[in-house]
Copies of this chain bind each other. A is one copy, B any other.
Amino acid sequence: MIQRMAATPTFAENNIPEMGIASGATPAFSPLYQQIKSLILQSLHRGEWKPGEAIPSEMDLAVRFRVSQGTVRKAIDELAAENLVIRRQGKGTYVATHAESHVQYRFLKLLPDNGDVNSEGPAERTIIDCKRQRASAEVARALCLHAGDAVLQVRRVLSFSQVPTILEDLWLPGGPFKGLTAERLTDDRGPMYALFEAEFGVRMVRAEEKIRAILPDAAQSLLLKVEQTTPLLSVERIAFTYNGIPMELRRGIYRTDTHHYRNELN
A232 touches B213 (CB 8 A): yes
Tell yes or no: A107 within 8 A of B by CB.
Answer: yes
Tell yes or no: A261 within 8 A of B by CB.
Answer: yes
Question: Complex: how many Å from CA A151 to CA B214?
Answer: 34
Distance in angstroms from A213 CB to nearest chain B CB is 4
Contacts of A82 in B (CB 8 A): 266
Tell yes or no: A265 within 8 A of B by CB.
Answer: yes
Query: Which B residue sits closest to A253, measured CB to CB?
Result: B213
Query: Which B residue sits closest to A84, measured CB to CB?
Result: B266
Chain A 226-266 interface 0/1 with B at a Cβ cutoff of 8 Å (1 = within)? 00010111000100000000000000001010001111111
Contacts of A207 in B (CB 8 A): 264-265
Tell yes or no: A218 within 8 A of B by CB.
Answer: no
A231 touches B206 (CB 8 A): no
Distance in angstroms from A191 CB to nearest chain B CB is 14
Chain A 197-215 interface 0/1 with B at a Cβ cutoff of 8 Å (1 = within)? 0000000001111111111
A208 touches B256 (CB 8 A): no
Distance in angstroms from A212 CB to nearest chain B CB is 4
Query: Which B residue sits closest to A262, measured CB to CB?
Result: B210
Question: Complex: how many Å from CA A253 to CA B208?
Answer: 22
Distance in angstroms from A97 CB to nearest chain B CB is 15
Chain A 102-129 interface 0/1 with B at a Cβ cutoff of 8 Å (1 = within)? 0000110100000000000000000000
Contacts of A106 in B (CB 8 A): 265
A residues with a Cβ closer than 8 A to B are 81-83, 106-107, 109, 206-215, 229, 231-233, 237, 254, 256, 260-266
Starting from the known contacts A209-B265, A215-B229, A231-B232, 6 additional A-B residue pairs (CB-CB under 8 Å) come to: A81-B81, A209-B264, A210-B260, A211-B256, A212-B261, A213-B231
